[in-house]
Amino acid sequence: MQNLDFLKSRVHFFPDATYGSIQTISFEDAKNVGIQGIVTTTLPSWINGVDEISKNFDGVKNFFGWNGKILTDSGGFQVFSLIHKKGLAKKNINDDGATFTDFKNGKKYLLTPEISQQVQFKLKSDFRVVLDEPVPDDADRETAKKSLERTHRWAERAKKEFLKLENLTEKEFFEEKKERPLLFAVVQGGDFLDLREESAKILNSIGFDGFGFGGVHFNSKTKNSKNSNKKTKNLKINLLESLPKNLPSNKIFYGMGIGTPDDILACQKIGYTLFDCVLPTRNARHGFLYVSKGEGDFSHENYDDLHIENERYKFDKNPIDSFCDCEVCKNKNLTRGYIRHLLKMKEPAGFRFATIHNLRFFMKLINNL
């Protein structure tokens, strides 16, 4: 199926495979739970030389041995998080790009809109994202506007580089019949609705296949993984709506880093059909499981949370979720009591069982849309 038809055919959730695998499970497990696409990150691939390896393997799919779809991000989110946390934004970000030092090897790197596209080209991903400049949650209007203008200039440069690398003319880019990787722009503008609207319109005039809503999780402080289990921080529906409301309906709307099951359903209602998030896999490893309503400890609009390390599950002989059809919940030997024990002992099998279950929960959620 062509990339555009694939994305338009249904709602998609892509789990995170930053370093080339969905942590603790195999790609065969991923296929079995119904995963059709994964997200991998440009930055670690680039600084660890995976882009060159991928080139030799004729693409990152062959290298990973994954025959589903792959979305690569621009690398910007990680670079800018790093730079902001160190308070180096003024010094290390300019119109050319962003400079950062890899803490592992001490080397300096310059990430530009062109370099980001070149890496994604070598990875041969199906869906690519242009480099944008996110701003922290608490950014004032002037900062948000400046970063927005830079984001637009970078989007133009990235599009130009994409066309060059893919050997496409502007006209060919818009011919729907032509199979090619898809290119996403990222709408910025902080918490300012008019800036978000302006950003959406300007990016659309440059021309992209889809638009991501940027900056959902971007802040200058270290994120607490336990807090991220709650409703996605700063999920502001009125801001999110500015994309579908101001852009053509045949475009793909991508909720970057969204989110919890409730957040995904809320965004789907307003037109978003593509999501990626670390929540189901990361929370699984911390024993936070998503279960059907009535099956867990904390009730949300469309699901319950089950904190399996809770003492009450010590001798529980039930499956994680009696309404779930994943291989873990269908196996009578894999009781809550046993999985709790494995997770408390930090046994890899426990991480795997919890991850399979959480991902299956997300897949069932989007399959029903």
Interface ranges with Zn ion (CB under 5 A): 324, 326, 329, 357
Minimal distance, residue 315 CB to Zn ion, in Å:
20
Return the number of the residue (31 or 153) whose C-beta is nearest Zn ion: 31
Minimal distance, residue 24 CB to Zn ion, in Å:
15
- Of the candidates 16, 29, 263, 276, the residue annotated as catalytic is 276
Minimal distance, residue 262 CB to Zn ion, in Å:
19
Q: How far apart are CA 258 and CA 217, in angstroms?
A: 9
> Residue written as tokens 């849309």?
369
How many residues are given for the chain?
Answer: 369
Q: How far apart are CA 273 and CA 30, in angstroms?
A: 20
DSSP 3-state helix, strand, coil percentages of the chain (rounded to 5)? 45, 15, 40
Cβ neighbors of 186 (< 8 A, separation 6 or more) are: 74, 129, 130, 132, 134, 151, 155, 211, 212, 213, 214, 256
Minimal distance, residue 328 CB to Zn ion, in Å:
5
Return the number of the residue (23 or 101) whose C-beta is nearest Zn ion: 23
Q: Of 264, 198, 275, 200, whose CA–CA distance to 237 is shortest?
A: 264
> Is 73 considered catalytic here?
yes
Q: How far apart are CA 227 and CA 203, in angstroms?
A: 33
Minimal distance, residue 353 CB to Zn ion, in Å:
9
| Two structure tokens written together for 188 | 């910025």
> Is 263 considered catalytic here?
no
Return the number of the residue (292 or 310) whose C-beta is nearest Zn ion: 292
- Of the candidates 16, 29, 73, 321, the residue annotated as catalytic is 73
Return the number of the residue (274 or 334) whose C-beta is nearest Zn ion: 334
Return the number of the residue (104 or 332) whose C-beta is nearest Zn ion: 332
Conformation bin of residue 357: beta by default, left when phi > 0, alpha when psi is -120 to 50: alpha
Known catalytic residues? 73, 276
